[in-house]
Structure 1
Amino acid sequence: MKNLRLMAILAMLLPCVAMAQISVSGKITGSNQQALVGASIKIKNKGITVLSDNDGGYALNIAPGKYILSVSFLGYKTEEKSVDLSNNQTVNFTLIQQAFIADEVVVSATRASKNMATTFRDLKKAELEKNNVGQDLPYLLNQTPSVVVSSDAGAGVGYTGLRIRGSDATRINVTLNGIPLNDAESQGSFFINLPDLASSVDNIQIQRGVGTSTNGAGAFGASLNIQTTTRRDSAYAELNNTFGSYNTLKNTVNVGTGLINNKFSFDGRLSRIKSDGYVDRASSNLKSFFVSGAYYGKNDILRANVFSGTEKTYQAWNGISEEMLATNRRHNDFTYDNQTDNYQQDHYQLFYTRTLGSKFTANAALHYTYGRGYYEEFKEARKLAEYSIEPVIIGTDTISKSDLVRRLHLNNDFYGVTYSLTYTPKNNLNFVLGGAYNEYKGKHFDEVVWAQFANYNGSGSIRHRYDDNDAFKTDFNIFGRANYQLEKLNFFADLQYRRIYYSYFGINPNGDPAQQNATLDFFNPKAGVTYNINQTSNVYASVAVGNKEPNRRDFTDSDINSRPKHENLVNIEAGYRTQFGNLSFGANGFAMLYKNQLINTGKLNEVGGQTRQNVPDSYRLGLEFDGRWQINKTLSWAATATLSSNKIKVFEEYIYDEDENPAVPLIINTYSNTNIAFSPSIIASSEINYSFLPNAGIALLTKYVGEQNLDNTSASSRTLSSFFVNDIRLSYNTPVLGIKNVNVSLLVNNVFNTLYEANGGTYPYLFAGVLERTNYYYPQATTNFLLSLNLKF
């Protein structure tokens, strides 16, 4: 706790620290001497960026020294100049229009720009590469504001969890190049299906809250807008290899042709990741590839991406009990040899972008995803009737229960089109019209592949299908957004209409299994204003509305009369962003006001199925800080902090005794102003980087997550304790024997051997009339390492 207080005090003192400053200013124009408004002026390798104003002007204050200024503007070639600042200087830039357009226009329709009144963070390729040594993509986001990550296997490989502002993956919209990644039915994003995706990612924008209009599932906590490989002008080859604790192994090969004849490029990646996991038997065997080819014309881009991932993981889904946690943190309840999850997902994407004169840019994309797989599990003494199997009669004995092995299958197809049209009639005005139409077909079927009773019939195995149902979903949305710069004010308005049709195998009003359907229409307006105090500072405020449909289980476990309502969110954001000299930071407040948020209450529906229930009123209120200070040429510090209050105004908990009367709750507890589960009131991070040699550095990465409730009762006996974890990263770069760069890095996680759990759960039950509650947890790895060798040719 003392360390946390120190971090908080130092973070608050950041804006108060000042150094002797030199001013560098100038003007950014095109070759026709027209001012370029919103051009990005960056001091390379310092994390300092400003935008040009309405006259194309800019100004920076920075400590004396030698720097490289880099200026970029969409549609123009990036220009760099070296400056030696010993006194105030004027440095002007004249940018030359590119012979071809940049890949960034593919994702620009669903992204926030620097002056937009949206709370966001951009992660570039270089920042992602620093920690990309084998752990899943959520772990590369761990040092960004309001993020909490967890791992079922404990070491960051295999199934991992991501929460932003307390919202889980089902409430985080994820797009790959503007194409939805979230599963259409569960609405979660499973990065395990795309292992080592980060090695093919160029940049990520994280928008917290509702954010701008996007495609796919509603963003109730955040959205991740991921852009994969973009143009690299020179040919390259990279070999990346990692070995670490728990027999973790990562091998990646990246190759690319660079730009051929100034028109074509081809890129490819092949990866595999293996790990035994921190938890017993929680192994992972992951493989993936990524191939991309592009054509660059003067006015258009045509790009095709094909990528795929396969995974086989031994299950660690159940966590471990509170009692076992004290004696064997690595315990795994599962012991059946093939208690595994097996899945493959193939993605096909085709993009076409064209500039239509100087004012219009059009984007269109076709996509198709094919997923298939199953998970297998051993079940002990199960009722045969649950699997539509007749009792086995042997002599005078009737066998109605049996040990068995079952497989739960999912085969699905997801395909559609996304599009956008950008119109920029003036430098200070632009319009975006965009949207998507997608279809999903899901085939769910389950089978018993072995049962003990089958031996009585002289057979060692069976293939008995006991459940078979299909789902079909369409998702259409269209949005329009306008940005207008009026002197120091920037206004934006964003309107989206979304229509969903869902057909599924569920329950009719009579309680009988039957094909059912639902249609939902959503209107999601957003608006905001930014006031530019000067060229390096602004304040902003926005309000956005989001709506989100229930997930598959909400539909299938209810009939049309008991079906939960859709969720609604009003998101208010206000913040301040500034940059002066070697210091940049942002501070913002947020209010996320929910109507009919869906949560687990323990309530059963008419046929005894577990359902989530709508809570009329709940909210998240918080403050976030995100800052970076380049203390000197060799030392930098980045820090984030979130303070929040996350409450449900009235929560009712239902508890049943399934052996007595499973249709009637025996206990109903009512709680007022209670905490939302898995929503810590404090989240903080720190990253201190020190370059002790010109090509060698060390970093201390720190993460603090406050106490979290396992359910929505605020009970102190059902919590995840706060944790304070530190990692150390060592890196060394040098060219050797014609190799452009040899990078050796060592990531030591949890250096102080902290015992902590980042995820868990709880459930109540009645036994002989007595209320019992059971907690379970997902312990995270103690001190462990990942050593990598990366070669760039």
Structure 2
Amino acid sequence: MMKMKNWLLTGLLFMIVSTVFSQGKITGIITDGSGGSLPGANVAIKGSNTATSTDFDGKFSLDAKISTGEVVITYLGYDSKTVKFTVSNNGVADLGEIVLASNSNELSEIVVKSSVVDIAKDRKTPVAVSTIKAAEIQQKLGTQEFPEILKNTPSVYATKAGGGFGDSSIRIRGFTQNNIAVMINGMPVNDMENGSVYWSNWAGLSDVASAIQVQRGLGASKLITPSVGGTINIVTKSSDMKEGGSVSSGFGNGNYFKIQGSYNTGKLDSGLSASVLLSQTMGQGYIQGTDFEGSNYYVALGYANKSDSHNFQLTVTGAPQWHNQRSTVSTIATYQKYGSIENPNTRYNPDAGFLNGEAYNIRKNYYHKPVASFNWDYKINETTKLSSVLYASMGRGAGASAAGGIRGKSYSDLVAFRTADGLVDYDKIVAYNSGQSVYINGFTGLQTRAKVNGLYQNTFSSGSNANTAAAASTGTTGISQTSSINSHDWYGAVINLNKKLSQTLTLDFGLDARTYTGYHFTVVNDLLGGNEFYDVLQQSSLPAGNHITTTYPTSVQWNVFDKKDYEKVSFNSTGKVKWYGVFTQLEYSKNNLTAFVQGALSQQGYKREDTFVYLPTNPLSSTPYKNILGGNVKGGANYNISEKSNVFVNAGYYDKQPFFNSVYPNNKSTLNPNLTNEKITGFEAGYGFRSKYFTANVNVYNTTWNDRYLKGNALPTSATIPANTTYTEFVGLNEVHSGVEIEANSKITDKLRFNGMFSYGIWEYKGNATVNAYYQADNTPVPGFQGTTIYMDKVKVGDAAQMTASLGASYEVLTRVTVDANYNFNNKLYAGINPVNFTSPTNKGSLELPSYGLVDAGFSYKMLVGQNKDKSVNFRLNVNNLFDKVYIAESRTNTFADDFVSGTSGPTYASSGQVYKGIATNNQVFFGFGRTWNFTLRYDF
């Protein structure tokens, strides 16, 4: 009996030891069921920290410390799947092919762990949405700007604007990007003073993004965000990716060169993980004189406990860069002058030139905006989850431009300082500034400046343009390079409690707090041969003024914690914004029906400090906070008719606070008397279809934007109004944006795939508005120009194509050899307008620009290497605008071909032959890029 007990105990002990110490492998391949592998899919043993990712052929191998259990497979854009396994000690359990069902718009919860990140889920979240995954971003973006990867999604219009590195812009459903919410891992990144997004600050996002989701319309975000047109949700890579890394190098036209390296530790047994990426990019730019250099760093550290109830992620990323710009917008006639009538020089840059034999551009942007975030996700129990993100950003940098003038002419004058090929003669500017006698185009005889107190003194004045010897001898002004510093300190937190109330109801409740301080002032960078800069704009320095001799380089500030003490000119103000918000959402989900209702409330406080325009004793030198309440409410429902079809509807209302420069217009501390919240109402409905070989979405929408506030340009110069002495405000602007969107994807065979989209919008102003005009000097009204009617009813909204379409295809011609091409068409594109020009009820509306279509093409090859063929060398060639199409991407002016060349009579632009493709040649435009190409070689290990 004793022996039997001993045998039983020994056997039990052996079983326990075998269970604890057994080592086995689990293998398999993850596919989409149509012959396509899914590289980078997450494979994890349920209830443990053991996880890996599939290789480039969808294969995985996982070490198991238990003999039986379940693996959970998740992949971006596909439904997750759980598969049981049994593995013997030191054995291998081959699970074979595991097929994931397509769910093209969903970001899995493994990729997005936090409920702070509001990701729309296909056939569940009732919003119009498109998702672009990391593989497509990495493969097709190349030398394009980050927003351009979105150009083949419905109702999106992306341009390169002036063409400098990171100067691109994007519009969704006709709304500009300061009315589009941009979120990174649940953090809002739109500038808190004006809603802007400067893509040059985020040039590294394409390297670290795991997916981009474009939510058109009011979107899925629970926060109060400027999502009038939509939301761009960017999800970056997490630290617990599969162990491994990559190195890559790319080059392209314009001496473009990029090198990048990354490494991920994977999730260690301790629960720790880390991911690091570094890259460097440089080039001359496609546009003349737009040299650039940028870096990118990304560090992510993570920790998860064994039960995965606590997950921490610390992420720091930044993209310090500098780039020369094309900020001056030329007329079509100017492009023709330096090209030909039929072939304008679309690369022409009126800001570029040479100085001392080297390329020089007075317009330059340099900025460094690192962002640090700390995410904590706490699974309190099976029904309760707390997600928090604390974030901070310190932006340091500026945009350099010119101050002052010579003989009444700015550096960008079309004649005065131009060489024969249209470049700026910076050598002549330096010669004049330093006292040398020079010939200035358009003036008679040599021009020589005089000294002031023994110095060649530059100011903000441009001097006299009278073509007389007396004016020349008394001219004391010069041209300097100055920078408008726009630095900031930004701290914020978003906390969300997610509670599952029952099997069908889930409640979210959260807080959104932000504080922002913006530092705005001007410094002198280069006197360009002058001896000092004299400024009389600071009140405390009058009447003597400031005599500035210190200059500051236009170089990137890597140490953002150093608050440098600058000598300032022109202006110096601090803008402060405090934001407190609460939000809640109730979601119902049962069987085929999902519905939600969401509400949010925020208070924004605006404060302005200015001891430059105002003496410290003046109460306006430091205003109290102006607090403004805003909020939104929205709801919607999705119903899955069948496994293939679903329908959804949503509606929402935003009461949106104005931007900072609407509260305190024209760099003054006087409150705007016409302050009012903007009101946005949106309605949307959609239908979706999913099958093994074909998916499609159809959406219809209507967005009404009332009481839009817009600050305009100066009034036209007249006998009573000097040039550039006024500014305008438009009150009561209303817009209606409605349209239809179609998006489809099809797998014809395992090797051939098609994708396409079509969108048609009707984006118009509704009703009339009024314009008020004020003097810049003191914000006093311009007599006779208050409450003037602006006739805007039915005028088309400009700067975005109201009809877009694309058709693309990819074909695997040989194993791992793929060619792809895409055609993108843009129509009903209207010029940007200045409402001040619409004071007549018989105006012609918005100028329609010529439609255009572009073809992009690519070639990919992946070569498997390594002993187990688990590593690869990847080749990618992109050619954008394959047929070198010449097209106008945007126009800043609105002149028609049948308008008179001058005055109210005489020849028109059309009758005098001053037209290009039917457009008057005095319109100021930016042409799009011609043919560009890039080649990338990447080694993944």
The two structures have a TM-score, normalised by structure 2, of 0.69
Residues in 2 aligned to 1:634 and 1:624: alpha-carbon distance in whole angstroms = 27
In structure 2, the residue corresponding to 1:673 is in which secondary structure? coil
The CA deviation string for residues 241-298 of structure 1, in whole angstroms up to 9 with x for no partner, is: 1110111111111111111116111000101111212211012211110000100122
Alignment-derived partner of residue 350 in structure 2: 333
The reply on whether 1:686 has 2:817 as its aligned counterpart is no
Query: What is the Cα deviation at residue 616 of structure 1?
Result: 4.2
Alignment-derived partner of residue 151 in structure 1: 160
After superposition, the Cα gap between the structure-2 partners of 1:184 and 1:585, relative to the gap in structure 1 and judged at 3 Å, is same
- My pick for the range that moved more, 173-182 or 514-523, is 514-523
- My pick for the range that moved more, 405-414 or 568-577, is 405-414
**Paired residues of 2:318 and 2:368 also in contact (CA < 8 A):** yes
**Paired residues of 2:663 and 2:672 also in contact (CA < 8 A):** no
In structure 2, the residue corresponding to 1:187 is in which secondary structure? coil
Alignment-derived partner of residue 255 in structure 1: 263
Partner AA of 1:684 in structure 2: A
Alignment-derived partner of residue 598 in structure 1: 709
2:682 to 551, 568, 571: 571
In structure 1, the residue corresponding to 2:154 is in which secondary structure? coil
Query: What is the Cα deviation at residue 45 of structure 1?
Result: 7.2
After superposition, the Cα gap between the structure-2 partners of 1:657 and 1:249, relative to the gap in structure 1 and judged at 3 Å, is same
Query: What is the Cα deviation at residue 689 of structure 1?
Result: 0.8
Instruction: Please provide the CA RMSD for this pair.
Output: 4.1
After superposition, the Cα gap between the structure-2 partners of 1:77 and 1:333, relative to the gap in structure 1 and judged at 3 Å, is same
The reply on whether 1:725 has 2:854 as its aligned counterpart is yes
The CA deviation string for residues 495-548 of structure 1, in whole angstroms up to 9 with x for no partner, is: 11111111125899xx99754442211120001122220122111111012233
Alignment-derived partner of residue 788 in structure 1: 936
Written as runs of structure 1 = structure 2, the 5 A alignment for 1:582-597 is 582-597=693-708
Residues in 2 aligned to 1:498 and 1:198: alpha-carbon distance in whole angstroms = 32
In structure 2, the residue corresponding to 1:789 is in which secondary structure? strand
Alignment-derived partner of residue 469 in structure 1: 573
Partner AA of 2:515 in structure 1: E
Partner AA of 2:512 in structure 1: A
The reply on whether 1:484 has 2:588 as its aligned counterpart is yes
In structure 2, the residue corresponding to 1:323 is in which secondary structure? helix
Residues in 2 aligned to 1:672 and 1:777: alpha-carbon distance in whole angstroms = 25
Partner AA of 1:786 in structure 2: N
Written as runs of structure 1 = structure 2, the 5 A alignment for 1:342-421 is 342-381=366-405, 387=460, 399=475, 401-421=477-497
User: Greater strand percent: which structure?
Assistant: 1
The reply on whether 1:633 has 2:633 as its aligned counterpart is no
In structure 2, the residue corresponding to 1:617 is in which secondary structure? strand
Residues in 2 aligned to 1:357 and 1:241: alpha-carbon distance in whole angstroms = 46
Alignment-derived partner of residue 925 in structure 2: 777
The reply on whether 1:759 has 2:759 as its aligned counterpart is no
Query: What is the Cα deviation at residue 380 of structure 1?
Result: 4.7
Query: What is the Cα deviation at residue 122 of structure 1?
Result: 2.3
In structure 1, the residue corresponding to 2:405 is in which secondary structure? strand
Query: What is the Cα deviation at residue 741 of structure 1?
Result: 1.2
Residues in 2 aligned to 1:144 and 1:618: alpha-carbon distance in whole angstroms = 23
Alignment-derived partner of residue 422 in structure 1: 498
Partner AA of 2:694 in structure 1: L
Find the structure with the greater CA-based Rg.
2
Query: What is the Cα deviation at residue 238 of structure 1?
Result: 0.4
Residues in 2 aligned to 1:562 and 1:422: alpha-carbon distance in whole angstroms = 42
2:692 to 551, 558, 581: 581
Written as runs of structure 1 = structure 2, the 5 A alignment for 1:116-135 is 116-135=125-144
After superposition, the Cα gap between the structure-2 partners of 1:499 and 1:460, relative to the gap in structure 1 and judged at 3 Å, is closer
Residues in 1 aligned to 2:136 and 2:472: alpha-carbon distance in whole angstroms = 70
**Paired residues of 1:195 and 1:273 also in contact (CA < 8 A):** no
**Paired residues of 1:182 and 1:216 also in contact (CA < 8 A):** no
The CA deviation string for residues 86-119 of structure 1, in whole angstroms up to 9 with x for no partner, is: xxxxx99xxxxxxxx8451225552223212111
Alignment-derived partner of residue 914 in structure 2: none
In structure 1, the residue corresponding to 2:658 is in which secondary structure? coil
In structure 2, the residue corresponding to 1:329 is in which secondary structure? coil
- My pick for the range that moved more, 156-165 or 468-477, is 156-165
Partner AA of 1:200 in structure 2: V
**Paired residues of 2:31 and 2:97 also in contact (CA < 8 A):** no
Which structure has more relative contact order (CA 8 Å, sep 6+)? It is 1
Query: What is the Cα deviation at residue 453 of structure 1?
Result: 9.5
The reply on whether 1:435 has 2:511 as its aligned counterpart is yes
**Paired residues of 1:292 and 1:304 also in contact (CA < 8 A):** yes
Partner AA of 1:318 in structure 2: T
**Paired residues of 1:338 and 1:376 also in contact (CA < 8 A):** no
The CA deviation string for residues 124-164 of structure 1, in whole angstroms up to 9 with x for no partner, is: 2223222142433212222222111111454x843111111
Alignment-derived partner of residue 745 in structure 1: 876
Residues in 2 aligned to 1:636 and 1:626: alpha-carbon distance in whole angstroms = 14
Partner AA of 2:193 in structure 1: E
**Paired residues of 2:165 and 2:290 also in contact (CA < 8 A):** no
Alignment-derived partner of residue 676 in structure 1: 797
**Identity of counterpart residues, as a percentage?**
19
Unmatched runs of 5 consecutive residues or more in structure 2: 1-29, 39-57, 60-70, 85-94, 102-108, 340-344, 354-359, 409-456, 465-469, 535-546, 552-566, 910-919
Alignment-derived partner of residue 237 in structure 1: 245
Alignment-derived partner of residue 196 in structure 1: 204
The CA deviation string for residues 318-358 of structure 1, in whole angstroms up to 9 with x for no partner, is: 23222123332211111362521111111111111110110
**Paired residues of 2:183 and 2:234 also in contact (CA < 8 A):** yes
2:730 to 607, 613, 631: 613
In structure 1, the residue corresponding to 2:793 is in which secondary structure? strand
Alignment-derived partner of residue 655 in structure 2: 547
Residues in 2 aligned to 1:73 and 1:689: alpha-carbon distance in whole angstroms = 21
**Paired residues of 2:250 and 2:935 also in contact (CA < 8 A):** yes
Query: What is the Cα deviation at residue 167 of structure 1?
Result: 1.3
Residues in 1 aligned to 2:129 and 2:797: alpha-carbon distance in whole angstroms = 24
**Paired residues of 1:173 and 1:216 also in contact (CA < 8 A):** no
**Paired residues of 2:246 and 2:940 also in contact (CA < 8 A):** yes
The two structures have a TM-score, normalised by structure 1, of 0.82
In structure 2, the residue corresponding to 1:192 is in which secondary structure? helix
**Paired residues of 2:239 and 2:301 also in contact (CA < 8 A):** no
Partner AA of 1:146 in structure 2: S
Query: What is the Cα deviation at residue 214 of structure 1?
Result: 4.0
The reply on whether 1:246 has 2:254 as its aligned counterpart is yes
**Paired residues of 2:654 and 2:681 also in contact (CA < 8 A):** yes
The reply on whether 1:182 has 2:303 as its aligned counterpart is no
Alignment-derived partner of residue 36 in structure 1: none
Written as runs of structure 1 = structure 2, the 5 A alignment for 1:654-673 is 670-673=791-794
- My pick for the range that moved more, 239-248 or 758-767, is 758-767
Partner AA of 2:766 in structure 1: K
Residues in 2 aligned to 1:359 and 1:456: alpha-carbon distance in whole angstroms = 68
Partner AA of 1:411 in structure 2: S
After superposition, the Cα gap between the structure-2 partners of 1:185 and 1:395, relative to the gap in structure 1 and judged at 3 Å, is closer
Residues in 1 aligned to 2:171 and 2:585: alpha-carbon distance in whole angstroms = 28
**Paired residues of 2:292 and 2:323 also in contact (CA < 8 A):** yes
Alignment-derived partner of residue 57 in structure 1: none
Partner AA of 1:416 in structure 2: G
**Paired residues of 2:726 and 2:774 also in contact (CA < 8 A):** no
Query: What is the Cα deviation at residue 165 of structure 1?
Result: 1.1
- My pick for the range that moved more, 701-710 or 725-734, is 701-710
Query: What is the Cα deviation at residue 434 of structure 1?
Result: 2.4
The reply on whether 1:703 has 2:713 as its aligned counterpart is no
The reply on whether 1:494 has 2:598 as its aligned counterpart is yes
**Paired residues of 2:116 and 2:387 also in contact (CA < 8 A):** no
After superposition, the Cα gap between the structure-2 partners of 1:604 and 1:70, relative to the gap in structure 1 and judged at 3 Å, is farther
In structure 1, the residue corresponding to 2:144 is in which secondary structure? coil
Query: What is the Cα deviation at residue 195 of structure 1?
Result: 2.0
Query: What is the Cα deviation at residue 608 of structure 1?
Result: 4.8
Alignment-derived partner of residue 8 in structure 1: none
